[in-house]
Every structure is written in structure tokens, then in C-alpha cells.
Structure 1
Amino acid sequence: MTILLATSLKLQAQTNTTSLEDSYSYNRSKLGKVQFRFSALSYVRNNEYFNYIADGYTLFGTYINPRISYQPHEKVQLELGGFARKDFGAKGLKDLEPTFTVRIKQNNWQFLIGNLDANINHRMIEPMLSFERLVTNPLERGIQVKYNKTGTIGKTDIKDETFFDSWIDMQQSTSPGQTRQEYIWGGTSFISPGVMVKSFKLKGLVQGSIYHMGGQNIQSTQPVRTLFNSAVGVRVQKELTKTQTLTADNYYVSYYESPFQGSAYYLNSYWQNPKYQVGVSYWFGHFFNSPMGNDLFQSYSRKFGYSDWYEAYRSILVLRLVRDWKVIDGLNVSLRVEPHYDVQNGKFEHSEGLYVKYQLP
């Protein structure tokens, strides 16, 4: 761990999760034809936490999303399906609901309304958007605008990707006279085109989100709240070979909810080849709070029975070990082991997860 930290300035945030992201294709040969699409995730995740901020627990289950897809035009795709989730050890289904998406493509842009490309597809840092939402909150509903372009930098053969994602997720609705609030979460994630400085690739990283709890003319005793989070960073990447890279992502992260505010530094480095990833992350936060973020990085407790607990400073050192398998096209397996040291409280804790993702595009 010491060696990895020492080389961090030479070394993507946290680790790469693209093997578990959703992928879609537009095919002119399928115009006017009905297609069957299917995606599924089976998972087991164990969190062994003993602090006063985050609960320890085990998540074990599977979910599926079969869909019927139709392309009335080469730029337009309609999808109608159903989502079912089963938690092992519990009776019945955890979730069962329909899904529907209108997806419009123009060059490298996509516009979605309905069910979104959710959770880890936004590529946000874990303190602002927990990786665990891939399991606990797999569906988001609203509107989304995406841009993705891959190519090379200048006249070189060095691969590069520009990424933009902006969305509004309507998590809970309300209406006049109701006792419940509306919950709306929106965000933007941007990874700039790369530039070469000597043999290093540099990229700008910008992320932001807004979470609102409120509503007009409702009978709720809960206060209206609006939380803002942002992160600004830089990526330094070095290609060792065609299949190996060293990457460092360093961020300044902020939180604001009048009259409260907080900030943090989030430093990441990792080595990656097609099968393995080894990374180190360091988090130093002061009164930080992000509603969708990983519980570990928050200053305000989310542990059962400790709602009044807070820690002004959170200092966490994380080691990330990842093994990825591509079994066949569309079937990926990812094993993730993440021990960490809670510096402020002097505790070693850990989490491990195994994820099997299948997608028939």
C-alpha cells in the first residue's frame, strides 16, 4: 500500500467499472423489426463495517430486465419491458415494475426519456454516487442527455474518450394535499478530451448534483431541503503498454445546503490491465454530505440507531483489488475486494463483492 501511494502522482477515479455498465447499439438492419433485449445482474456484496457512520450488512440476490425493442427510424429506439428483483433469504420479490424508454440518437449524442442509463453509468465518484446503487437502486426514471465519443489524440494512436452525462431522476412524486414530499435528483458528469503533455495524457473532470426534497401545497411537516454537491479534478494517465495503464484522479469535492457546507479531497490511483485492477484511494472530508454517496465517506451517520451522530472529519484510506472476466460476449464477471483503514477512528474494515452481468444488446 505504501508503494502504491508513493507512485500515485505517476498513476480514473477509484477503479474502472465499464465492464458492468449498460451498452446499447443502433443497427440499420433492424429498422422496422421487433427485437428482444435482456439484461440481468446477480450479486453478492458483504460490508463488514464497525463504525458509527455506516451499517454493515450483506446484499445477495439477482435482478432481470427483459425488454422488447423497436426501431421505427435509424435514430429512434423504443423499449418496453419489465423489471424484477429477488433478494435471497427474503420471501417474494423485492421489486416488480414495468420499464419504458424512448432513446433518440444523433451522431454521438443520445436523448432518453423514461428509464435511464442509471447509477454507475453516470461515472461519478463514489462519495457522490455509491457503486452499491448498482444493486440497491438499479432503476432511475426521468430524462437524460448523453454524449460519448471515442477516438485518438491528435495524430497519435493513443485512444481517448470524451464523456458527458446530464440527467434528472424523479425518485418520488407528490401532489397538492399529499403528506409526502417530492424527491428529485439531478446531476452532470463530464470527462474532457485528453491532451498529451510529454508522455502523459491529461483530462479535466467535472461533476455536480442537486437533490431536492419539497413540493408545493402539500401537508408535510418535513422541511424543504436542497443539497448541492460538486467535484472538480484532473486525470493524469500513463500508458505503459497497449494493455496496461497507470492513472491518477484527484478531486476537490464540496457540499452545500444553506446554512451548512463541507468539503473534501479525494485522491485516487490505480494500475489496470484487461483482467486486473489495483488501486488506492484516500479521502479527507470535513462536514461532507451527499445523499447518493457511499455511506462511508459521509460526516453524518446513516447507521441504524445513530441518526444524531456525526464526525466533523472523515479520513479513509482504501485499497481496491479488482478481477474482471469476460466469459463470452455480453457476459462479464467482476470480483471486487476493498479493505480500508478509518484513520480518524483507527479501524480496519472491509467489503467484498461478486457481480455477474449479462446483457443481450
Structure 2
Amino acid sequence: MFIRALFISILLLIATARAHGFSFPINHPLLNNSYVKDSNALYFNFYNANFLWNNEFFNDVVNGYTLIGYFLTPEFQYHISPNIKIQGGLHLLKYTGINDFTQIVPTYSAIYTHNDFALIMGKIKGTINHRLPEPLLFSERYFTNHLENGVQYLLNKEKLQLDLWLDWQSFIFPMDNKQEELVAGLSVRPWLIKNENWEMGTPVWLLTGHRGGQIDTSSANMKTAMNYGVGFFLQKNLSYRFLDKMSFETQFLGFSDNSPTVESLYEKGTGWMNQISLGYRDNYFRASYWHSHQFLSLMGHPMYQSYSEKGEGFHQAHRELLSFHLFYSKSIHKSIYLGFMGDTYIDLNNGDVDYSMGMTLIIKHLGLIKRFKPAAK
């Protein structure tokens, strides 16, 4: 059965040979956290992601479905000084086949930068920008839950990347019949070695979710849950025509429900991921092995969890998966990226084979509208 499943997965990968996943490589231009340095200048920033994503899932854990649609985030940016800017606009999410927009939300950010760090208040750089493993943060959220609002601290040095953030998801007033909800996170990627031949490092991740409050009238119990992880990666940089990097990464991940009254399916759980990747520029092929026991996640890919979307009788305490991911991204014009993807998942416990495939067109354009004269002192 396993040989048959492996053969089918290879055929599926060949069939989606031009592929694009949502787990962008760490150096992808879309994950660039640098900012334009300007003063007394007004810019227009247009951010648009168009997506078609088909999940052909037939297992007992995750439902199969198709996502098709787009989001738009047009914003104006005013640069007060080289280190301070404010920006605001709208975020609109629409699924094809629905007449109305699913989301129409105003956006605003105040951003302060100095040397290697940035402080953002308001709309922060979320989802895939946090560079979390897929079991901790489902990269599909880049499309479906793109907005995160709160406070963020970013540090970007030669051998250290740090992202510390607070995403306040639900605010409450006195006597509201709902609870406040928030997620705090930390993503640290230090390099022990980083040169033209080798890269080696030990990333660390932490996510804490809280639901509660002291001024609401909701009868729901307070909940505090946590995901955490530590990893190790080793990358060899190459100079072949169609292969410029080869890497190995291992990740140990955990879950813990620290609520006064535990309502999660499991109180604690762990997972272990091993990955081998071959890459060329912003493209890669990755083979992964996942083994977990009672693992749950606040925002991770449901495929890696023990909880079943199909009901109580389908939960699986032990999960063991072999997966293959193919990612292809091409810049077809300045700041415009066309992508295709293909994923295959093999459940080693029962031989189920599931796959997903999709395409994206992402436009990220920043243009100067007007530069103003400095005010007279």
C-alpha cells in the first residue's frame, strides 16, 4: 500500500511541475521588511493577491475545499521623516461566486524605523511574514486572514531575524457579551554560520493565544493555549545551473493548554518535522516527514493536527505523514509575481493520499504621488 501511495504522489508532483506554495522562501521579495527612506512625501501603495487553491482532501481529518478569489489593500503612505511614516487605506477580501465582499476593513499603521529595527503599531506584517513552520501557522491564512492588528517589533541583522508581535483579534467594552481574543508571538532566526558556502542556525518560535476578559458578560470559560518550537537548519549553497541550495531542517514543536478549565481535545502534545529541500532562486522542492502525538495548533495547517474537522469519532492521537511540496515563483514584471504550487500528503498510518494545487498572481506596487516642501522653521 505504501509503495502504491508513493508512486501516486510522484505522479501528482510531475503533473504539477510548475508549482507555487504559500510558504515563501525566507529571502523572497514579498517577505522584505525594508522601507523606503523619504521625507515630506506621499506615496500610493497597491497590494493585490489573486488566488486559486484546490485542496483534494479525502482523509478523516481535514475537509477538502476550493478557494478562489482575491484581496486588495490600497493604501496611502505619508513619510514624515526618513524614519517615521503613517499609512492607511482599505482591505477588501472577495471570493469568486459571491456578490458581496467578505471583508471591507479600514487599515492604519504608524511605523518607526531605526537602523536594523522597526516598530509598527496598527496593521502589522502578519501571516507568512512571521516565518513560522506550517504546523504552527497555516500559510493559507495569507489569503483568508491576512489582516493582523496590534503592535510589532522587527529586528533584521546580518545573522539575526526577530519578530515579536501582538495581534489583538477581538476588543471588548464593559458589559459586552463576548470575550477579548488576542495572540502574541515570537519568531527568532539566528544564524550560527552564514557565509557564501554554508548557513546554519537554530530558529525558535512561540505562540500564545488568550480568550477571556474581566469586563464582559460572556459565560464562556477563559482559555490560554500555547504553541512552541525549536529547530535546526543546515544549508549548503551551490553554484549549479538549476540548483543553488540544498538544505536539511528539523523542528520540534509542542502544544499546551494552560487554561484553568481545559476544554481542548488534549492538554499537551508534541510534533517532530524533518525536511530536505532542493532550491533554485525562489523555487524549491521539499520532502518532509511529520510524526506527532496529540498535537494541536492555534493557527496551524489542520493536516498536521490530531483534531479532526469531521467530528469526534475521527480524531487521531498519533499522526505520521510523508509530504512533498513543489514551489515555483516568477517575477513577470517589477513587483508582480506569478506562482504555481503542488503538495502531496501521504498518511503513513492508513495509506491515504491527499494533494492540493493552486496558482497566485500577486501585485505589490509603490508609487510616489507628491513630494512636499519642508515646513519653514
TM-score between both structures, scaled by the size of structure 2? 0.85
CA 1:27–1:221 in 2, change beyond 3 Å: closer, same or farther? closer
Checking the alignment, whether the CA contact within 8 Å between 1:65 and 1:83 is kept in structure 2 is yes
Aligned to 2:207: 209
- Give per-residue Cα distances to partners, 1:260-310, cap 9 Å, x unaligned: 11111011121110253111111111001112001111111234xx15642
For the pair 1:245 / 2:245, whether they are aligned, the reply is yes
Aligned to 2:277: 270
1:262 is paired with a residue whose SS is: strand
Instruction: Give the one of 282, 289, 296 matched to 1:282.
Output: 289
Aligned residues: 339
Quote how far apart the aligned CAs of 1:226 are: 0.6
For the pair 1:110 / 2:118, whether they are aligned, the reply is yes
Checking the alignment, whether the CA contact within 8 Å between 2:28 and 2:282 is kept in structure 1 is no
2:234 is paired with a residue whose SS is: strand
Instruction: Give the one of 229, 232, 248 matched to 1:231.
Output: 229
- Give per-residue Cα distances to partners, 1:217-247, cap 9 Å, x unaligned: 4222322111111110111111122861001
**Inter-partner Cα distance in structure 1 for 2:24 and 2:82:** 34
**Inter-partner Cα distance in structure 2 for 1:65 and 1:197:** 37
Aligned to 1:133: 141
Instruction: Give the one of 162, 174, 194 matched to 2:192.
Output: 194
Quote how far apart the aligned CAs of 1:343 are: 1.4
CA 1:196–1:98 in 2, change beyond 3 Å: closer, same or farther? closer
TM-score between both structures, scaled by the size of structure 1? 0.88
Quote how far apart the aligned CAs of 1:173 are: 1.7
**Inter-partner Cα distance in structure 2 for 1:118 and 1:140:** 6
Segments of 5+ residues of structure 2 without an aligned counterpart are: 1-5, 11-21, 367-377
Checking the alignment, whether the CA contact within 8 Å between 1:19 and 1:332 is kept in structure 2 is no
For the pair 1:65 / 2:63, whether they are aligned, the reply is no
Checking the alignment, whether the CA contact within 8 Å between 2:205 and 2:230 is kept in structure 1 is yes
**Inter-partner Cα distance in structure 2 for 1:48 and 1:221:** 38
1:33-48 maps to which residues of 2 (within 5 A)?
33-48=41-56
**Inter-partner Cα distance in structure 2 for 1:45 and 1:16:** 19
Q: CA RMSD in A?
A: 2.3
Aligned to 1:256: 256
Greater length-normalized contact order (CA 8 Å, ≥ 6 residues apart):
2
For the pair 1:143 / 2:131, whether they are aligned, the reply is no
- Identity between Structure 1 and Structure 2 (%): 25
- Give per-residue Cα distances to partners, 1:100-147, cap 9 Å, x unaligned: 011110101000000010100000000000011011101000000001
Checking the alignment, whether the CA contact within 8 Å between 2:23 and 2:139 is kept in structure 1 is no
For the pair 1:95 / 2:103, whether they are aligned, the reply is yes
Instruction: Give the one of 297, 315, 321 matched to 2:320.
Output: 315
Quote how far apart the aligned CAs of 1:19 are: 3.6
2:290 is paired with a residue whose SS is: strand
- Give per-residue Cα distances to partners, 1:124-181, cap 9 Å, x unaligned: 000000011011101000000001124xxxxxxxxxx531101010111223322211
Quote how far apart the aligned CAs of 1:345 are: 2.7
CA 1:181–1:62 in 2, change beyond 3 Å: closer, same or farther? same
Aligned to 1:356: 361
Q: Read off the aligned partner of 1:60 and give its amino acid letter.
A: I
**Inter-partner Cα distance in structure 2 for 1:14 and 1:244:** 19
**Inter-partner Cα distance in structure 2 for 1:297 and 1:275:** 25
- Give per-residue Cα distances to partners, 1:157-212, cap 9 Å, x unaligned: xxxx5311010101112233222111101101011023169964311110010011
CA 1:346–1:245 in 2, change beyond 3 Å: closer, same or farther? same
Checking the alignment, whether the CA contact within 8 Å between 1:36 and 1:67 is kept in structure 2 is yes
**Inter-partner Cα distance in structure 2 for 1:83 and 1:326:** 24
Aligned to 2:369: none
Q: Read off the aligned partner of 2:166 and give its amino acid letter.
A: I
**Inter-partner Cα distance in structure 1 for 2:273 and 2:231:** 9
Checking the alignment, whether the CA contact within 8 Å between 2:25 and 2:282 is kept in structure 1 is no
2:297 is paired with a residue whose SS is: coil
1:143 is paired with a residue whose SS is: strand
**Inter-partner Cα distance in structure 1 for 2:116 and 2:251:** 27
Checking the alignment, whether the CA contact within 8 Å between 1:315 and 1:343 is kept in structure 2 is yes
Aligned to 2:25: 16
CA 1:228–1:308 in 2, change beyond 3 Å: closer, same or farther? farther
Checking the alignment, whether the CA contact within 8 Å between 2:27 and 2:282 is kept in structure 1 is no
CA 1:198–1:73 in 2, change beyond 3 Å: closer, same or farther? closer
Q: Read off the aligned partner of 2:236 and give its amino acid letter.
A: K
Checking the alignment, whether the CA contact within 8 Å between 1:116 and 1:142 is kept in structure 2 is yes
Checking the alignment, whether the CA contact within 8 Å between 1:274 and 1:324 is kept in structure 2 is no
Quote how far apart the aligned CAs of 1:86 are: 1.2
Q: Read off the aligned partner of 2:63 and give its amino acid letter.
A: D
